[in-house]
Amino acid sequence: MYTGFEYTKKFQRTTQEPVTRLINNELNRLENLEKKYSEIEKKLNNIEKKIETKRFNLNWNLSFLYDIEDFVINQYTNHN
């Protein structure tokens, strides 16, 4: 038989341990989610940079088409 004090201590231990484990598990889960979020954010930034680079290169590579269009328009307007 436990005294009131012993029973209270035992009860606190048996109720606190699962709660503490639950809190620790949730904190670990949150930390893992934060790490994953950070990794995903870095990947997204890299993808955005690649898209911007490709867009710039595409615009630069296609700029000659605007020159051709201007030339054709000038030729057409000069002959009419």
CA distances to 58, 61, 66, 74, 77 from 71, in Å: 21, 17, 8, 5, 10
- What is the rounded CA–CA span in Å between residue 33 and residue 27? 10
Task: Give the span between the Cα atoms of 57 and 51, in whole angstroms.
Answer: 10
- Specify the pLDDT at position 11: 64
The residue ranking higher by pLDDT, 66 or 72, is 72
The pLDDT tens digits of the residues spanning 15-63 come to 667 778 888 899 999 999 999 999 999 999 999 998 888 877 776 666 6
Q: So what's the pLDDT on residue 33?
A: 95
Residue 42: its pLDDT value, please?
94
pLDDT of 57 reads: 72
Residue type, position 27, single letter: L
pTM of structure? 0.50
